[in-house]
Structure 1
Amino acid sequence: MSGDAGESEPSLRDIDLVRVRYVDAEGARHLVGLEEAAGVPYEDGRMVRAIPSHRGQGHMPGQYWVAKWGDFVDYESVLESKWLMLLDFDPQVTAFVTQPMEFDAIDARGAWQHTPDVFARRRDGSVLLLDVKNPELRDDPKVRLQEERTQRTCERLGWDYAMVSEPSGQRWVNIDLLSSARRPLYLGADLVPRLLDLAREPVEIGELMRFMEYPDLARGVLYHLMWHQRIVTDLDRPLRETTLVKTAAEAQT
């Protein structure tokens, strides 16, 4: 056996050199150190790599339509699209982009590269970086090492980081339902002032619908207003006819 008995395996922090590769809005490629990387507006740039799409692959790529700015964002899997939806709904998130940069690094265990799944910019300027992983892979040693390395890099950048899997809970169920009404209103747009007026005081959804001449149409408009958080409720509870809703302005008073 080589080495002294008291020797331990090198820490990942003993060697930790990271550079960041990204593509700006004009399509120019850049490779920068972490100090410069922290201030780059990745949300204005392009994806650092194209998402592969071929017959027989284990996931389904596609495009998510973002209500925040009315355009499409590419995603690599249906699971990833769910997290794009959650970011789209989050009022603190102002922009997000997929495949935003590539970390090109070396540490005590060797060289590594990683392209995180999603970069999100919050209203206060802070950053959330996400990796979306199939829950069946979360305990894979390679995945855990990737998570550790990316977490450590984000700490140095001053960013928040999370590796996420399948969203769960009642809140996700409700947001998924409301997302069906996130697109701009055409039919039923004239119902918006009436719904906002009736919801100035807390009112049950079922009662609100009884005021409407066309309740099926009005329900879709209500969900649109709830997606855009002009009418709010407790989304951690099931949405039922007895659920109380109210306008956002009234909820803040």
Structure 2
Amino acid sequence: MPDVNEVSWSVRAAAGSIVWDWSSGGPDPRQLLPVRRPTSGALSKHVPVRAFTATTGSHLRLESGLEHDLVRMVDRDPAVTWIVSQPCLLEWGSGRSTRRHVPDLLTTGADGAISLWDVKSREAAASEAFAEMRALTADACTRVGWRYVVFTGLPAVHRHNLIWLHGFRHRPAWSERYAPLLLESCAEGSTLSDLLACSNAETAAVMWHLIWTGRLRIDLTQRLVPSSSVTS
């Protein structure tokens, strides 16, 4: 295994790519640009996409559906304040023995904590081929005070619920007309059936948006049915 003390971090901003000098502190995540652009070819297993995120108000370049699942999850998390795809290049060793790795995502928290994410299927995350890179990346993050997470996906029901809610991430222009009433009606608990029974298209859209933001709470790990409990 390469010497973990020799790790270098390369990042890219508007001025170009640089090897980051940690003696001056960490980079500003809001200034970071992807260090590479995901591409695909005839034999590629994944198809790159551009996914809009409400957190940044811009599009992220992603290279797999599993990455899109992660973005859907963190984009609605009120504790996440910024998201960057392909955020840095880590290198260990030198010459022909150099090991390189580009993590898939970076997120910042409201408390200033930074998390670096690798996105792998459960099989790939458990493989011997990934074990060394996982250990190297985790150690590199620990040394600079960042959190390292390997995302392997969500249970099918949770994933499908997030895909549905993803269509309501944009705040409706008429939201303030209905949001207070919906929040008040759910203060002591309600059900989806109760809310939808007295909804028109506008109030329903606001309801789903409030669920996406978390202002209305519902158990997304379970199937959404008429009796699903909704609280504010």
What TM-score range do you get, normalising by the shorter chain?
0.7 to 0.9
Partner of 2:225: 240
**Among residues 181, 196, 213, which one is paired with 1:228 in the alignment?**
213
> Percent identity at matched positions?
24
Higher relative contact order (CA 8 A, sep 6+): 2
Matched residues in 2 for 1:191 and 1:168: separation?
32
Q: Report if the CA contact (8 A) 2:85-2:106 is conserved.
A: yes
**One-letter code of the match for 2:16?**
A
Q: Which runs of 5+ in 1 are unaligned?
A: 1-11, 248-253
- The equivalent residue for 2:15 is 27
Please name the residue that 1:185 is paired with: 172
Q: Which of 23, 26, 36 matches 1:39?
A: 26
Choose 1 or 2 for highest CA Rg: 1
For residue 183 of structure 1, report the CA deviation from its aligned partner.
Answer: 1.8
Aligned-partner residue type, residue 222 of structure 1: M
Deviation at 1:104, TM superposition (A): 1.7
2:72 is aligned with 1:85: yes
Contact map agreement 1:89 1:175 (CA 8 A) in 2: no
1:126 aligns with 2:125: no
Task: State the alpha-carbon separation in 2 of the partners of residues 217 and 135 from structure 1.
Answer: 40
Residues 95, 122 of structure 1: 8 Å contact kept: yes
Helix, strand or coil for the counterpart of 1:162? strand
CA RMSD of the aligned region, Å?
2.5
Name the counterpart of 1:251: none
Q: Select the structure that is richer in helix.
A: 2
Q: Does the 8 Å contact 1:43/1:121 carry over to 2?
A: no
Residues 34-183 of structure 1 mapped to structure 2, 5 A cutoff: 34-36=22-24, 39-106=26-93, 110-168=97-155, 170-183=157-170
CA contact (8 A) 2:114 2:146 kept: yes
Using the TM superposition, give the Cα deviation of residue 204 of structure 1 relative to its aligned residue in structure 2, in angstroms. Answer: 1.4
Structure 1 length as normaliser, TM-score?
Answer: 0.81
> Aligned partners of 1:244, 1:15: CA distance in 2, in Å?
49
Larger displacement relative to structure 2 (59-68 or 134-143): 134-143
TM-score normalised per structure 2? 0.87
Pairs aligned (count)? 231
Structure 2: unaligned runs, 5 residues or longer:
none
- Conserved 8 A contact 1:18-1:34: no
Counterpart of 2:195 in structure 1 is 208
Aligned to 2:5: 16
